[in-house]
Amino acid sequence: MTKHRFIAGVALAEPDRARLLAAVQIHDLTLVLDRPDVVAACDNVAATISLGQDGVIIGPLYQSGTRDALTSIVDNARSAIVTSAGSRLFEAFWGSYIGIVRTGTGTSLVRAPFGSLPSLFQRMGSGLIAGSDIDLIRAASGIAFSLNFEAIGRQLVLGDVRLATTSLRGIEELRGGSRLLVEPSGIRLEDIWSPWAFADEKRRIDDLEDAARRLRQECIAAVAARTSTLRHPLLMLSGGLDSSILAASLAADDRMFSCLNMATRDHAGDETSYARRVTTHVGRPLHERAMAVTNYDFARIGVVRTPRPVARGYQQLVFEAAARVADELGCDGIIDGGGGDNVFCSLRSVSLAADCLLDPDGTHHFRRVCGELGQLAGASRWRVAWKARWRSWQRARPYRLEQDRRLLSPDVQAPAQNGAIHPWLEPAESGLPGRGAHIAMLIAAQGYVEDGPHGSKLNCTAPLVSQPLVEHCLAIPSWRWIARGNNRAAARNAFETCLPPEIAWRRGKGNPESFLFSLLERNREAMSSHLMDGVLASAGVIDTAALGKALRDTERLKGTIYGRILQLVDTESWARGIMAG
């Protein structure tokens, strides 16, 4: 996720167009499309493909079977893209692109599903300004930022979900797989790409060996393409399944790479022994570092120029440390396994067993799946089966996202209906509950990659969250994702010959909980002042009485509330950074 920048103006009045062109010069961007009705510019290193007078594609664009980003497309493909107002890009290509296409009646903007090039926009009269980051949009529009505290509260409630609106007034986002149409009749957003289309039974791959073989092929191909510009990447290798699959995929492509394992002092956060087994198996060097609690400048590290308070200080700390190691080793990029759990269906929900009851092809898997889920959850097969039957009777009920209102003012509310939160939560007519739960996990993965580079997370990529791999995984039925007492079973099957067996079928995984608690415990007094005297408290977003009680209760902090407090600290730092400009 190298940080690329773009700015575009569609149907702008002349003063607004002039201001945008001035911003292009100030920020040293290059014009790649200049027509009376639409203008676009990007940085000099961003990949671009011209559609002639009809538009431009900004950002890396891939096609199945190729590992390098395309530099041009054939005439019939270009014609199909223009005729479809850009939607053909979703069907025939993938990547991290923004397509700007002039149609017969206006202009359309399309964004790649799971693409890491952000696309934000601000309406300007009957037109708009779109861009990769908030500072470019501010420079081009001349409009200062304003915090939307109601939206900030919603974001805190919904966590990993990204709404089409952001936490800044007037700034909206074009999510991956969507199209933004600007026409004389108005501006409208359309959801084009949907994961439900790939979870349809007509696309199902039920053969175990075929599903595993193709998953391995798609994963190796996606990793090769997304990292093709890197000469010597640094892989953040925890020793868990997802990062180990990345190591196996890079090794299968005969790539030179180094690995970094960052461990906490607590045993639960130290997976060094697993990482060593992986690097020994793939024959690549491992560099080990300890995660330090000292000198955690939460007020600084939380200041990230994103349109929402979604960056976590802990992650920024990890990527900051990884960037230092990459510089020491001469590595030219960082790879991480973020989103792999979501893509590879890391579920332990009875909805997987409910799918077996609701789909005739899954009926004979029901007893086995109930047993596997029971092993994972420490429950009897019969209890799992009873819950699965109950869930199958409620098939029409859409997946319910968790909403976290802890330590927030009672006035902070989330949207009541799933459809208002995210279109993927509205199931297809034949949608199964287990598939719905898997797709809900992909919403979090979408946010993880589509937030793009930010803060210390700059020259980083998460190649497991790639459109072709996601589409393949959606075609694997629910009952194939759990086996041998493990979830993510289809991915384990795919790579079990490429990894040590104790890694491929490892059940547990490490966590940094003790490290996170130490961050709060060491900085509790400073964090308390940061929040109690901050902009969130003065705006009524935080329930200061509940927060004060939680901060004083050391035993309660050892539960899960410390994670919420750290999230609020990060949000406060983000808000102050935005206000400081």
Q: What are the φ and ψ backbone dihedral angles of 54, each rounded to 5 degrees?
A: -90, -5
- Helices 366-377 and 351-358, packing angle to 10 deg: 170
Locate all alpha helices (DSSP H) within 28-163, ordered by sequence: 75-83, 88-92, 134-141, 149-158
Q: What share of the chain has pLDDT > 90, as a percent?
A: 84
Mean pLDDT of 233-259: 97
What CA–CA distances, in Å, run from 448 to 153, 311, 440, 442, 465? 19, 10, 13, 10, 9
Q: Using the predicted structure, report yes or no on whether residue 361 has a pLDDT greater than 70.
A: yes
Distant-in-sequence, close-in-space partners of 233: CB < 8 Å, separation ≥ 6:
227, 250, 255, 257, 258, 331, 332, 333, 334, 335
Q: In 322-465, at which residue ranges do the beta strands (DSSP E only) sit?
A: 334-335, 460-461
Q: By CB neighbour count within 10 A (0-12 exposed, 13-18 middle, 19+ buried), where does 509 fall?
A: middle
Distances (CA, A) of 394 to 163, 358, 362, 379, 400: 27, 11, 18, 22, 12
CA separation, residue 346 to residues 207, 398, 434, 479, 481 (Å): 20, 19, 11, 12, 8
DSSP string, 260-293: EEEE-SSGGG--HHHHHHHHHHHT--EEEEEPP-
Distance CA 101, CA 54 (A): 6
Query: What is residue 555's predicted lDDT score, i.e. its pLDDT?
Result: 74
The predicted-structure confidence for 171-182, as pLDDT tens digits, reads as follows 999 999 999 999
Domains detected in the chain: 6-192 (3.60.20.10), 194-297+308-508 (3.40.50.620), 513-580 (no CATH)
pLDDT over 90 at 11, yes or no: yes
pLDDT one-digit tens code per residue, 425-444: 887 777 799 999 999 999 99
Which tokens belong to 252?
């299968």
Q: Is 290 left (phi over 0), alpha (psi -120 to 50) or beta?
A: beta
pLDDT for the residue 418: 52
pLDDT at 1 > cutoff 60: no
Average pLDDT value for the chain: 93
Query: What is the average per-residue pLDDT within 532-544?
Result: 96
How is residue 70 annotated by DSSP? P
Q: What is the pLDDT of residue 67?
A: 87
Q: pLDDT-based confidence at 230, cuts 50/70/90?
A: very high
Mean predicted confidence (pLDDT) in 466-485? 96
State the Cα–Cα distance between residues 233 and 3, nearest whole angstrom: 16
Q: Is the pLDDT of residue 372 over 90?
A: yes
The helix/strand count (H/E) of the chain reads as: 25, 19
List Cβ neighbours of 227 (8 Å cut-off, separation of 6 or more).
233, 250, 255, 333, 335, 461, 463
**Smallest Cα–Cα separation from 133: which of 45, 48, 56, 42?**
42
pLDDT in tens, 137-163: 999 999 998 999 999 999 999 999 998
